[in-house]
Amino acid sequence: MSILATQDTRVIVQGITGREATAFTKDMMDYGTRVVAGVTPGKKGQSIYGVPVFDTVRQALRAQPADASVISVPPALVKGAALEALENGIRLLVIVSERVPRRDTVEILEIARERGARVIGPNTLGLISPGRIKLGMAGGPVDDVRKAYTPGPVGIASRSGGMTTEVANLLTTNGIGQSTCIGIGGDPVVGSNFLDLIPLFEQDPETKAVVLFSEPGGVIEEHLAEYVTENRVRTPIVAFIAGRFVDEMPGVRFGHAATIVEGDRGSARGKIERLREAGIHVADAFSDIVRILKERI
């Protein structure tokens, strides 16, 4: 089964009339995702690829009940859009917008926690359960998605949206399918991270192993190592830590906003040590991910 969303999940898109959202709405629908409504204030009555557009989330849900929302609006409007979705009962938010103010993200996550909702992102390309559902921009157009992603037993969680597809393609090329693949988002503050997702993967009977693509910066990997040790996680986890050269350039940011190392805090070296101490398999080379998985599943 999928985690977070299934082929039966009904989806709205907030900001659907924007250029980016219009494009990925078509890609989602082509993949089979049930996009039932869109929301853009002032655009009620329009339609995008047959999807009706409403002024508010409340209007949209009255006409077309839904479980999840993909949010693609300007950064300053993300908090309002997210809170509107949460207040109207949406329990899964995928926020693809970038440069969301950290304070806004913290407020969104706090309210989501109070309401029992889950947030992916901000600054995420989304998620895919191969052959079932695609939320957001993950994988790009449907033909590319079908080449890179195939159904199977390995979950993927990645701090890089693009590398989510690269990992999936590596596995597919080597005959290993995927259960659910999630780009957690590249910002310093995001909703569901590795620590939140591993328990979900472990509860999924179809997921036999998980691949994590990580980067320097932050301490979530260290916390994950503690969780795996304390809870005796049985699902095999394979991690790849990119950007190890960043350890030699403290205080300098590369790529994502979260990829910044301060002394030993968040260093690739420190992450690798802690993960290995917890029994998590760390691939030295990207291609080693396949070898390790084949040894474990």
Looking up residue 96, the CATH number of its domain turns out to be: 3.40.50.261
| CA 137 – CA 15 distance, rounded (Å) | 14
* CA dist list (Å): 186 to 8, 144, 195, 234: 28, 22, 15, 27
Residue 111: predicted pLDDT: 98
- Residue 3, domain member (yes or no): no
Stretches where the chain sits below pLDDT 50 are none
- Residue 4, domain member (yes or no): no
Contacts for 199 with CB less than 8 Å, ≥ 6 apart: none
- Residue 1, domain member (yes or no): no
- Residue 160, domain member (yes or no): yes
pTM comes to 0.93
Residue 245: predicted pLDDT: 54
Domain that holds residue 81: 10-296
- Residue 5, domain member (yes or no): no
User: For the chain, what is the mean pLDDT?
Assistant: 93
Active site members: 256
- Residue 21, domain member (yes or no): yes
- Residue 291, domain member (yes or no): yes
| CA 240 – CA 214 distance, rounded (Å) | 6
**Model confidence over 178-216: pLDDT tens digits?**
999 999 998 889 999 999 999 999 999 999 999 999 988
Residue 6: predicted pLDDT: 97
| Number of domains comprising the chain | 1
| CA 88 – CA 70 distance, rounded (Å) | 14
